[in-house]
Amino acid sequence: MFADSSVVVLLAVGGYLIGSLSFAVIVSRVMGLDDPRTYGSQNPGATNVLRSGNKKAAIATLLFDALKGYFPVLLVKLYGPAFGLDDQAVALVAISAFIGHLWPVFFAFKGGKGVATAAGVLFGVEPLLGAAVMGTWLLMAVVFRYSSLAALSASLLAPAYYLMGNQVVWPMSEAELLAVMVMSALLLMRHKDNIQRLVSGQESKIGAKKEAPAEETDAQA
């Protein structure tokens, strides 16, 4: 798997630090917007940035949060074998980047919910897997207009999609499957409040304007 323990540390720390870049906050600062941690759901993610009314900022947040999950995984997947790194290294970087987004060291360990970053990771692991999961998210979001419901549906189906593609679309890796399952579990955990609001009919829909922070939660990035 790894040449030595220093490679493990480098991959884990590198992935985590990249994941710790909270682009919802960074993009908002650059574009002169309010800190997304101060309004709406207070979640530093694209859905909450959209509540500011600035669609460009929300799209930029979504894109950069996805790319910070995509590129570290893709780089290890493409160039890792030349350095003796295999699928376990890919899984390690994937989880590290994702955890960095959830608990970012640069932002007092208060991060987003991980949907966009998880999508980027999945595209890096297997592009068709990422496409299937993103397609699920988009379908649910368009039909029901709940970002949280779309995220929950996509995260629940991600491990199933990976298993279904085994030996049909891609060779399955137990390490990568474990990484996908861990991300799905963490996504569900981060959405526990959303689940309660969905059940009670109090969850806000995509595109809702920013309000006082106490009443809303969202499910993006």
- pLDDT, tens digit (0-9, with 9 covering 90-100), for 101-119: 999 999 999 999 999 999 9
CA 15 to chain centre: 13
Terminus-to-terminus CA distance in the chain, angstroms?
A: 30
Q: How many structural domains are present in the chain?
A: 1
- pLDDT, tens digit (0-9, with 9 covering 90-100), for 150-163: 999 999 999 999 99
Q: Give pLDDT, residue 214.
A: 43
Domain carrying residue 77: 5-215
Q: Give pLDDT, residue 107.
A: 96
Question: Is 41 domain-assigned?
Answer: yes
Question: Is 132 domain-assigned?
Answer: yes
Count of alpha carbons within 13 angstroms of residue 38, beta-carbon side: 7
- pLDDT, tens digit (0-9, with 9 covering 90-100), for 43-99: 999 989 999 999 999 999 999 999 999 999 999 999 999 988 999 999 999 999 999
Question: Is 220 domain-assigned?
Answer: no
Question: Is 221 domain-assigned?
Answer: no
CA–CA gap between residue 38 and residue 35 (Å, rounded): 6
**What's the pTM value of the predicted model, to 2 decimals?**
0.91
Number of Cβ within 10 Å of residue 7's Cβ equals 17
CA–CA gap between residue 11 and residue 83 (Å, rounded): 12
Q: Give pLDDT, residue 210.
A: 59
Share of the chain above pLDDT 90, in %: 83
